[in-house]
Amino acid sequence: MNNRILVIGDETAADQVGGNLHQEGFEVVVTTSLADSSTLEVDFLLAICDDGPPDIDGFEMCRGLKSDRRTAGVPVILISDAARLESNADGLESIVDEFMTKPYLLAELLARVNLTLKRIGAFPTDPVTELSGNIAADIKLREAIRSEAPFSLMLLAANGLRQFHEVYGDQKFEQVIRFTADTVKEVISKQGGRGDYAAYLGGGTFSVITVPERAETLARSIIHIFDAGIKNFYSLGDAERGGLMTFDRQGRMVDNPIMAVSIGLASNEGRVIRSHWAAAEIARELLDYAMSFPESRCCKDQRTERQ
């Protein structure tokens, strides 16, 4: 799926806006003008115009995007100062989909990007896992919090993936990521229910949003399938030996067991969770604890509101 965002602005926009969007999983194309027609030959999810830098008239850039058949359907966010927005208010709705006033917070811009993509139903998809990423996962978690309905957030990762990557390389690493993603998707497809949602957060970590009554069943099934198939990615010798050897920083050999899948499970079933940050922090703490064990394990939050 296309995950490109066009940013029209100067080097500051490239560093600040482009850099933050790249961290969110987008491919960012930065330009200072639309003079190079080839820039518009590719598809974009969204365009952001930064009005104000020397020689960059954001309003004209927006008009150019909307008048070009290749980009007429691309949502446009314009960033300008209040006076410029007021003086160009007539016809503004015909050339932009969203606008923001300067100065602005980068978090505010990312939120506006999220809302715009949510409105058009477009999110970047990881090419290896074919799952959406951080932005979609964040929006889904916020929705779960706002609904005040019971939910469970599961964070899971292959324990020992870094060492495996070090020994077996990028291709095998991607195969394990894909296997983990396929395992999650298979379990949700067969045992999940309406509203269950999975995403790939990067770095080998996945998230699943479900309801409390299904969460532990899904976790057990993920562990069962993962444990049954993970040895297939090792050499015969490592599989028979039950692990692989790496070197620590002191040059000493370290025995690493066959990878396990670790799961942290947070829920508002027994306590109030007031923000998506709190939910993610709880699940991350539990994932870290689960990863302290060599075998596959799901660690569930046992704390209640009284505690």
pLDDT tens per residue across span 9-18 = 877 777 788 8
Question: pLDDT-derived band of residue 120, with 50, 70 and 90 as boundaries?
Answer: low
pLDDT tens per residue across span 174-210 = 999 999 999 999 999 999 998 899 999 999 999 999 9
Tokens at 87, concatenated: 């003086």
DSSP string, 43-86: --SEEEEE--STT--HHHHHHHHHHSTTTTTS-EEEEE-HHHHH
Fold designation for 134-300: Alpha-Beta Plaits (3.30.70)
154-163, 268-277, 286-295: least confidently modelled range: 268-277
Average pLDDT over residues 155-162: 97
pLDDT score, position 278: 93
CATH topology match: 4-120 vs 134-300: no
pLDDT score, position 299: 98
34-43, 77-86, 92-101, 260-269: least confidently modelled range: 34-43
Supply the mean pLDDT for the chain: 88
pLDDT at 173 over 50: yes
Report the SS3 class of residue 29.
Answer: strand
Pick among 3.30.9.10, 1.10.10.10, 3.40.50.2300, 3.40.630.20: CATH of 4-120: 3.40.50.2300
User: What number of residues does the chain have?
Assistant: 307
| Region of residue 222 (left: phi > 0; alpha: psi -120 to 50; beta: else) | alpha
| Percent of the residues in the chain that have a pLDDT greater than 70, as a whole number | 95
Whether the CB-CB separation of 5 and 13 falls below 8 Å is answered with no
pLDDT tens per residue across span 49-99 = 988 766 778 898 898 888 887 887 788 999 988 888 888 888 888 888 888
The reply to whether the predicted model has a pTM over 0.85 is no
pLDDT at 147 over 60: yes
Whether the CB-CB separation of 158 and 204 falls below 8 Å is answered with yes
pLDDT at 307 over 80: no
Average pLDDT over residues 101-120: 82
Domain residue spans in the chain?
A: 4-120, 134-300
Non-local CB neighbours of 71 within 8 Å, separated by 6+ positions: 6, 40, 44, 47, 65
